[in-house]
Amino acid sequence: MKVLVNGGLNCSVQDGPWDQAYEPELGWSIGPGVDGGDASLDAGEAGAICDLIDHRIASEFYDRDIDGTPRAWLALIGRSLPSLTSMFSTSRMIGEYLILPGDL
């Protein structure tokens, strides 16, 4: 969750926070996000992440314009940062979980 405020992008299984926040135009999802610890599921997710890195993430990162700027990558950060940062902020968390005396 902290990667966002540093201009990073998410690539994770869809569980926990990424299950709530995932949108294809904001980052990458690995597999279906099913819990279980099954070795075959782990192997499938390992294959999925390798495929995702090889065919999507690396190509998007290394696609540079004539000046060497990764325009599509920066556009992805530009969409992700404002959309996701507020979802994972302390302010949001406090507002959602704080119980005030009058709320009881």
* pLDDT over 60 at 33, yes or no: no
b/e string for 50-84 if b means 16 or more Cβ within 10 A?
eebeeeebeeeeeeeeeeeeeeebeebbeebbeeb
pTM as predicted: 0.73
* pLDDT over 70 at 13, yes or no: yes
Q: 10 Å Cβ neighbour count for 44?
A: 15
pLDDT for the residue 101: 67
> Any idea where the domains of the chain sit in the sequence?
4-103
**18 — pLDDT class (breaks 50, 70, 90):** confident
Each residue of 36-89: pLDDT tens digit?
556 666 777 888 899 999 999 999 999 999 999 999 999 999 999 888 887 777
Phi, psi of 6 (to 5 degrees): -100, 10
pLDDT for the residue 41: 67
